[in-house]
Structure 1
Amino acid sequence: MPQFPRALRWIIPCVVVVLFLAALAIGSLWVKSYLRSDAFRRLIEEKTGEAVKGQATYEPLRWIGASVFSNQLSVTGETGSPLASLTADQLRATVAWRAIFDGAWRIENLESARVLATFRPGSFATESPSSHVASPEPAVAKWLPHRFEIGSVSTPLGSVRFLDAAEKERFALNESSLHMKPDGASWLLEGQGGTFLVAEFPELKVEKFRSRIHKDVFFLTDSQFRLGDSGVITASGEFSKAAKVRVAWDRVNIDQFLASHWRKKLSATMAGSADIVVPDGQNATATGKVVLTDGLVQKVPLLDQIAKFTGAPQFRRMPVQEVTSDFSWQNGILTLTNFMGESKGLLRLEGTCTIAADHQIDGTFRIGVTPQTVQWLPGSREKVFTEAGGGYLWTSLKIGGTVENPTEDLSGRLLAAMGEQVIEQGTKALDNLPAPAREGAKQAIDLLKPFFQ
């Protein structure tokens, strides 16, 4: 049997190794050339567009080792896509090369310096697999993966706007730090910092939130916001074509929700909760309970009248320990039920009230005052505050007018009850009154004279 020369036995394996290394080097250059080509950029543009139902454009890619950079990604959503537009600046992605042998381009982490996105009602479901036409590919692309996997996506400055069907902005998240990662068929999204805006609502500071995105449904697992210096708001819920949200708040300064002319009249700290349902993206309904504490009511005409009648100046600046009420809101109409407000030792108010979309008020209450309050008001106990209970003397109270200019029927009834008796006994009654109530009685007589003379 012929024997190979000893040198030849070493040369053949060396040649094989060299050829293999050369093939690897050529293949590597070949792949690197493809990765830096417009063809590869078009591929990831198409894959991005397919994922969000839109047209995606990346600025030229730059590779440094396992990292790839692009100055900007721009996406314009197609008709029916929930994504209306997106811009991501200064993108950086880290590629796990070993995943190529598993048939995928795997992005370990995709980062962007800033993301601006606008969402609207729609669905990410595609009509058919052929809805996107692939661009021509070079020969090398046929041997490389076409599947993309992403480990996580993050940005320190994410701003997201949410539009309704009429393209009116309903919510906006501004400059929040966002981190997103896949979880099976869903995506987990967490964020902290920044601000959150809701239409016709004061600006909220974002403490943190956790959420899940599954197909076309957004689940807000939990969230916490700050409102003003002390207010805390939490929210959770589900958003899709319809929305259901549970909101709770505590230590909120009511001043932020009052019209300017009411801020001088009412102050308090607010807590409560609400269940909000938006069945069609437009007509929201809300039900819940609200509690006000540490309140102060002042410069209110009805209370000023009571202060004049009784000679009790504490009604002009009346502390309110607690106000509670159940509420419902639908079609712009706010309804308060089981309403109760109390200034201990002075006044208690109970009843129901409706505030229409045009700010018209329709309130039916019972108001209670202490016996000491009306002891110097002739006729008031016999004709007005006729019911006793719970340490108060009670009468009915109707409130009308508008939020800006409310009206009430109590002061007129007090005048009618006091009028004739006070005028007839005028001077004698004044002489018998103690000094603290004398001035108030004089003012009451002056008010009554035009009606009874």
Structure 2
Amino acid sequence: MNLDVCPINFRGLAISRGFASVFAMSRRARKRGNSGGAGWLGKAVIILIAASILSAAVFYAAVRSYLHSDAFRVFMSDKASALGKVDGTFTSFRWEGLSVETSTFDATGRGAVKTLRLDGLHTEIGLSGLRRGVWEIRQARARRIEMLIDTRGGIDPAPVAVAEAKDIKVSHARTVTKPWLPTEVEVKEMDVGELKISALTDQGQATIRGLRANVEPGAGKHTYRIDLADGLVQLPFTFVPEIRLDKAHLNYNDENVFLSSFKASVWENGQVEASGEWNADTKQYSLEGNVTGVKCEDVFNENWAKRFIGDLNTDFTVTGSTRTIDAKGKLTLQNGTLTALPVLDALAAYADTRRFRVLPLSEAHTNWRSYNNQLAFTNLVLASEGLVRLEGDITITDRQLDGRFRLGLAPGTLASIPGAETDVFFPGERGLVWTPLRITGTLDDPKEDLTDRLKAAAGLRMFDVIPETGEKIIKFSRSIINDPPSQLIERGTKIIEESADIVEGVGGVIDGFFGKKKKTEEEPNKPNP
């Protein structure tokens, strides 16, 4: 109510009674009270902000102090040891803000990883993961990593005083952290300038050197994407050449490794592509892929490198564990040609044709398998349409040969060898004459049974047996029969020797393939003991 405009002089009455002054004083008091409350609220907000900043500064100072302490170096040493299943230590850390460098990480182990050394590590520690209880390792770069792995028998699967890598829980008594500090490490990215790995296996030593690697975390926990480039790979198999890695992509998932792509070069123009996986639970691995563009001169020994022309391609499947390897595939020769073989020249001369001097291969392929020091070739086929065909299997065990084949030739090829195409070779499929062929001996001294059978057949055809007496007489024309006995024997022996020369040429193909050195005229005969 407005006392100033009231028709009755209530204002004066109110003033005289003291009510108006009380009313005015109440309004001023309320104003002063409101302004005082707002001021305290603002001051409280300012104090709270300042306290937060101060707390953050104190917390950062405490974190920074811990990072720069030797306790953090020991903590990281334990984490790296757990990840590699070894026992190792970083050298002193050199800090610049949140960036850190260290010279080396040296470790040894009783498990598969025997030694591990990391040189020239530079990284940054991220603090954004503190709320999640992890130290973030960002932009890590290592100049060189070198390790020795032993997959042979008698390995203690438990590492030296380290926990399982997938848990990465520190159990070392020497590592003591405050409860509010993270106890886990998360690697955001890591580049390795040079990776060198030596692996001791039951088959021998394998090496990887000069490899560049990039590691990034995957979608889940304990998953990583790994990209590899360059580098040289040497496997413990004499028949596998040095592999020049182009690039490879792997996925690591809780100790399981998946090789999604692998591209490399071998010999001069050969290319290798592969994919596969490693199962940590079963300790088994598998690979599959193909090799293309390999020249015959890359694979064959010096003798056959000059005589076997063509391109070799093979697919392959490899399965195994740290103790065994089982590899198999199908090998194919494309644009194959056999040339400059003495046996081909001999066949051409005796068959009165030049077709054998340069022998184009219309078909050349075999299945192969390598397992337990044994190399087996099955369903092997070498063929020149209408001229010659070889079919069969051969196994090489500790350099011992065991082969069973069928050899087919065009009719008339060995007509100049008495009995060859009637007693040794017999008509069969594809319009060829066929005979079984047995290969034995060793890689250094292969043996075949065809030569002796042809010699025996030629010898039998040289003689007749007189039924009454059982004596052998030489089968020749009348002019030869009239010669003195000494001349008959001499000329008969010469014919047998000429036939044997051709036969031994056939055997020379087998010898030459395995690199057996033939005795030349210049080589002196060894004296009899």
TM-score range, shorter chain: 0.7 to 0.9
C-alpha deviation, 1:198, in angstroms? 0.9
Which of 161, 165, 174 in structure 1 is aligned with 2:198?
161
Which one has the largest radius of gyration? 2
User: Does structure 2 retain, via aligned residues, the 8 Å contact 1:245–1:275?
Assistant: yes
| Alignment-mate amino acid for residue 71 of structure 1 | S
Cα deviation, 1:62-119, whole Å, max 9, x if unaligned, reads 2334422222222323x33x43222222212133333224432112322111111233
Name 1:433's counterpart in structure 2. Answer: none
C-alpha deviation, 1:286, in angstroms? 2.7
Name 1:40's counterpart in structure 2. Answer: 72
Are residues 428 and 34 of structure 1, via their aligned partners in 2, closer, same or farther at CA, if it must alter by over 3 Å? Answer: farther
Question: How many angstroms apart in 2 are the aligned matches of 1:195 and 1:88?
Answer: 19
Name 2:292's counterpart in structure 1. Answer: 250
Name 1:406's counterpart in structure 2. Answer: 446
Are residues 65 and 136 of structure 1, via their aligned partners in 2, closer, same or farther at CA, if it must alter by over 3 Å? Answer: closer
| Alignment-mate amino acid for residue 86 of structure 2 | G
Of the structure 1 ranges 60-69 and 85-94, higher mean CA displacement relative to structure 2 is found in 60-69
Cα deviation, 1:213-264, whole Å, max 9, x if unaligned, reads 2334332222122111211122222334223222421222344444556545
The normalised TM-score by structure 1 is 0.80
Of the structure 1 ranges 39-48 and 295-304, higher mean CA displacement relative to structure 2 is found in 295-304
User: Does structure 2 retain, via aligned residues, the 8 Å contact 1:347–1:370?
Assistant: yes
Name 1:171's counterpart in structure 2. Answer: 206
Name 2:186's counterpart in structure 1. Answer: 149
1:369 aligns with 2:392: no
Name 1:438's counterpart in structure 2. Answer: none
User: Does structure 2 retain, via aligned residues, the 8 Å contact 1:312–1:373?
Assistant: no
1:59 aligns with 2:98: no
**Percent same amino acid among aligned pairs?**
25
Which of 219, 224, 227 in structure 2 is aligned with 1:187?
224
**RMSD after superposition:** 3.8
User: Does structure 2 retain, via aligned residues, the 8 Å contact 1:334–1:356?
Assistant: yes
Q: Which runs of 5+ in 1 are unaligned?
A: 430-441
Which of 59, 65, 88 in structure 1 is aligned with 2:118?
88
C-alpha deviation, 1:341, in angstroms? 0.3
Name 2:254's counterpart in structure 1. Answer: 215
Residues 23-422 of structure 1: matches in 2 within 5 Å?
24-77=56-109, 79-80=110-111, 82-121=112-151, 122=157, 126=163, 132-135=171-174, 137=176, 141-164=178-201, 170-183=205-218, 184=220, 185-200=222-237, 201-239=240-278, 240=280, 241-259=283-301, 263=305, 266=308, 268-279=310-321, 281-297=322-338, 306=347, 309-310=350-351, 315=356, 318-357=359-398, 359-419=399-459, 420-421=461-462
| Alignment-mate amino acid for residue 325 of structure 1 | T
| Alignment-mate amino acid for residue 361 of structure 1 | L
User: Does structure 1 retain, via aligned residues, the 8 Å contact 2:350–2:413?
Assistant: no
User: Does structure 2 retain, via aligned residues, the 8 Å contact 1:305–1:411?
Assistant: no
User: Does structure 1 retain, via aligned residues, the 8 Å contact 2:105–2:117?
Assistant: yes
Partner-residue secondary structure (3-state), 1:45:
helix
Q: Which runs of 5+ in 2 are unaligned?
A: 1-28, 152-156, 464-473, 481-492, 502-529
Cα deviation, 1:274-325, whole Å, max 9, x if unaligned, reads 322325x223223322112344546767657645654657656644344211
Structure with more strand by fraction = 1
C-alpha deviation, 1:11, in angstroms? 8.4
Question: How many angstroms apart in 2 are the aligned matches of 1:16 and 1:327?
Answer: 78
Are residues 130 and 173 of structure 1, via their aligned partners in 2, closer, same or farther at CA, if it must alter by over 3 Å? Answer: closer
Question: How many angstroms apart in 1 are the aligned matches of 2:447 and 2:175?
Answer: 76
Are residues 351 and 157 of structure 1, via their aligned partners in 2, closer, same or farther at CA, if it must alter by over 3 Å? Answer: same
Question: How many angstroms apart in 2 are the aligned matches of 1:268 and 1:403?
Answer: 23
Are residues 154 and 370 of structure 1, via their aligned partners in 2, closer, same or farther at CA, if it must alter by over 3 Å? Answer: same
User: Does structure 1 retain, via aligned residues, the 8 Å contact 2:83–2:168?
Assistant: no
Aligned length: 429
Partner-residue secondary structure (3-state), 2:87:
strand
Cα deviation, 1:198-222, whole Å, max 9, x if unaligned, reads 1123110112112222334332222
Question: How many angstroms apart in 2 are the aligned matches of 1:293 and 1:426?
Answer: 50
Question: How many angstroms apart in 2 are the aligned matches of 1:189 and 1:379?
Answer: 67
Are residues 211 and 149 of structure 1, via their aligned partners in 2, closer, same or farther at CA, if it must alter by over 3 Å? Answer: same
User: Does structure 1 retain, via aligned residues, the 8 Å contact 2:94–2:101?
Assistant: yes
Question: How many angstroms apart in 2 are the aligned matches of 1:324 and 1:189?
Answer: 37
User: Does structure 2 retain, via aligned residues, the 8 Å contact 1:208–1:224?
Assistant: yes
User: Does structure 2 retain, via aligned residues, the 8 Å contact 1:66–1:97?
Assistant: no
Partner-residue secondary structure (3-state), 1:68:
strand
Partner-residue secondary structure (3-state), 1:238:
strand
Partner-residue secondary structure (3-state), 2:413:
helix
User: Does structure 1 retain, via aligned residues, the 8 Å contact 2:137–2:188?
Assistant: yes
Partner-residue secondary structure (3-state), 2:92:
coil
User: Does structure 2 retain, via aligned residues, the 8 Å contact 1:272–1:290?
Assistant: yes
Partner-residue secondary structure (3-state), 1:223:
strand
| Alignment-mate amino acid for residue 238 of structure 1 | E
Partner-residue secondary structure (3-state), 2:370:
strand
Are residues 354 and 54 of structure 1, via their aligned partners in 2, closer, same or farther at CA, if it must alter by over 3 Å? Answer: closer
Question: How many angstroms apart in 2 are the aligned matches of 1:449 and 1:250?
Answer: 41
Are residues 353 and 17 of structure 1, via their aligned partners in 2, closer, same or farther at CA, if it must alter by over 3 Å? Answer: closer
Of the structure 1 ranges 415-424 and 147-156, higher mean CA displacement relative to structure 2 is found in 415-424
Partner-residue secondary structure (3-state), 2:444:
coil
